Structure 1
Amino acid sequence: MDFSRVQLSEDDQAFRDELRGFLRSIVTDEVIRRDRETGENFDEAVHLALGAQGYLGADFETEADGGFTAVRRRIWELEIGRAHAPWFHWPTTSMVAHCLRQFGSPQLQDEVLPQVLTGHIRLCLGYTEPEGGSDVATCKTRAVREADGSSWVINGSKMFTSNAQNAQYVFLITNTDPDAPKHQSLTMFLVPLDTPGIEIQPLRTVDGDRTNITYYSDVRVADRFRVGAVNGGWAVLREALNAEHGTVERGAEGLQKLATMTEHLLLLAEAVDHIAAVAGDEDSVRYRLGRAIARVEAAMSTTDMFGRVANAQTMRDVAPDLMDLLGTAASLPAGVEGAADDGGAEYIYRLAGPTGIYGGTLEVFRNMIAQHALGLGRPNYSPPARRPA
C-alpha cells in the first residue's frame, strides 16, 4: 500500500484554491450560525450556488462523462467539509439520482435529473417506518394500483424523512404485494412531495437536527413515477443501500472517501485542535489529547463498513473526554459568553450520538461486518435457555 503524499499539479492546485475561495464566499459565518441554530443541514442559497457553478454536476458524473477526476473529487470532499458547508442533503440527493438514472424511465429522468444538477430539485429518503426499525424490507406502507393501471394509491407513514421540508421528491419504498415474501413485495416510487395527501411533521433529534415524520393518506401517484419493476423494489433499494452503507466497489487509486461519516471526523479533528490550544499543558492533558488524535487518525484510515463503525464510535468515545478536559464551560454552545473553544466540544458531543444512527445503527453495521466480512452466523436474539433446576 502506497502512503505517499499526493503531489497536486498546478491545475489541481488552482482548482483547490478556486474552490476554497468560492466556499469561503458562500459559506459565511451567518450561514454556519443559522445551520447550527436550525439543525437543517441545508442552505438553499449555498446549494443553488454550488449547482450554478457546476460543482454538483461534476460531483455527480464520472470523470469519463465530464465529472471530477479522482484527485479533484477528493479535494472537493475535503474542502466542502473543512468549510463547514451545510451540504448533507446533496449526498442523499445524488445517491437517489444515481438510482433514478439506472432504474427510472427516460421520461422521469428527463424531468428530474437536469434540475438535480442545478440544485433546484432535491430528493429525500422514505425508508424507515415507525415500527420498522432498521429492517426496511418489513415495509407496511401500501401502494395499490388502480384499475386502469395508470396510477397508484399510497397509504402509510415514514420516520426520519430528513430534509423532506427542503426536497421536491421522496424516494419511497412501498409494499405492493402483502402476501409475497418481504423482499419480493416491494416497489419504489419517486413521489412529488407537493402531492395532495402528504403531510410533513418536524422531529428534533438530541443534537438539535431536524428530521421528519411523513404521512401518506390516499396519495395518488402516476405510474410514471415508479422506479424499477413492480415488486422488484429490493433490487433498486439494494443499490442505494450499498452506497449509503459505503459498501460500493473501491477504485485502485486510493483517493475515494474511505467511509461514510468521514466529514464528521473533520469536525472532531478541528475540535481537538481548538481544545489543545486552551486546555493547558499538564502531562495528563497531553496524554488524553494524544490518545484522541490517535483514535481520530486510526478511524480516518479505516475503510468501508469498518470505517463507518470506527468513525461513529470514535466520536462517541472522544467527545465526552474533550468535554471533561474543558470542564463545565464546555457545555455552553457556540456564541454564548464563556463557552470554551466557542462551543466546539459541545457541538461535537451532541453530534456524536446521532452519527451512530444515521444510515443504520452501529449495531446493524456490526452485525453486517460479523456476517458478511467475518463469515459468522446471524445473531440470535432469543432469550437465553434456562438451566435445569
Structure 2
Amino acid sequence: MRMSPRGYALLVLVLSARTLAASASEFEGYEAYVQPDVLRVRASASADASILTRLPINHPVWVVGAPTAEGFVEVQVNNQEVITSDRDALKGFVRADMLGKRQTEKMLEDQLASARTPQEQWMWLERLMALRGSEIDKERMRTLAQQSGNKEWLAQAKRMEEPPPTVIGVCFQGRVSILAQLVGNKLEPLVESHDNAAQNSPKVRAAEARLRARALELTTLRFSHYRPGMLGTGYLVQPRVVTAEDILETARTRIELGPCPQLRGEVSVFNAHVFVSAPLESNQDATFSSAELARYVAQLPSPVHELRVFTPPGRFVELNIAGAVYLFQKGKPEAWACSTGACTRRRLTSTQAPVWLQLASGQQMRIGSQTEDVDNTGWGTPANSGLWVSPEFVIHVFDGNGGLVEGKVTLDQYGC
C-alpha cells in the first residue's frame, strides 16, 4: 500500500470527520473506492493481521464501521461489476486513508505531472499502470527505475515483462472454482485430492497452504468470463480454499473465487461458464453449411448419428458424434486429432458440452466435462435430482504449432 502525501488529504479528512462524528450505533455506511494500485483487506484492524484478499485500484467497497484508533475501517466487499447476495460478501479491515473517490486517468496524470520527487512519480505511475496497463506507463516506470537505481523498482519493472499467470476456472455449484494454471506448455492442476481420513495430515495441510497462497495471488488478476453469446471481464476478489467431501470418503481441496457473477441488469439465472485470467478473443466462426461440412463428415465412421458441430475461432472444426470427437484443421478434411484409435499421433479425451476459447496470445483452449450438464444449467447453480456427481473437467490447449496439452481435474458435487 502506498499513501499520497497530498492530493487526497482533504478527502480523507472529510471522510474521517464524517465517520468520527457518528457513534457506532448510529453509523451510516457509504461507498468508497480503493486509491492505491493494490489494497490489502485484513482480518482485523491491525497491520499485522492476516490478509483476506487484495483489491485493485478503483474497486468499490462499502464502509460499514467508523475508523478505529489504529486508522482502520471495516468494509464489505462484493465482486466487481456483478450482483451478489449479502451472504456472499466478504468483510474485513482496510486503512481509512487508502479510500476515496473513483479515480480517472486524467486525475492521475495531473498528480504525476505535479509530483516533486521520484517516490511520488513512482507512486502515481503504479496507479496508472494498475488502472490502464499501457505500454507507455510501463516504459516510464522502466526509465524511472533505471534513472534512480532503486533495486526494488528495478525488480518490479522486470516483473512487468513477465506475462501474468493464465488460470482457468469454471462456474461450479454456483461459485467460481479454479481448475488449473497454464504454465508454458504444461497445465498445473489447482485441485488436490486426498483421503478424507488424512484431512488433518501435514501433507494435506501443506497442500491447503499452497492453494491458499495461490488464491491470494489471483485476487488482483482480471478474469475474462465467457458463456455462449457473452464475453465479459472483471475481478474476482473473494478467495477461499475449501475441502468438499463426497460419499466415497474422498476429498477435493480447491480454490474458490467468489460466486458466479450475474451481470448488472441481467435477470437470467444462467451464469457465466468459464473464467480465464488472460485476454480472450471474442470472435466466433459462423455455423458451417451442410455443403461446407460434407467433406469433413465424409471422413467420419458410417453411419453418423447425433452429429454435433463446433466451430471454434481460427483453425479448427470439431465434429462430435455419439461420444467420439473428431477435430479437423480448416481446409484439411483428414482428421487432425480424435478420441478414438484412428488418431495415433494426437489423441483427445472425449468430453461433453465443450467450450472453445481463444487467448489473445493465439493459443486455443477446449474445456469440457466428462459428465454432461453436471448441474442442469451448464456449469451454473446446482440443480441435480439427488445424485452424487464427480465431474472430471478436461482442458485441451493447442498452440500455433499443433502442440497439444491435456489436463484433467475432478471436482465433487451433491445435487438435491
TM-score by length of 1: 0.26
Greater strand proportion: 2
Larger CA Rg, structure 1 vs 2:
2
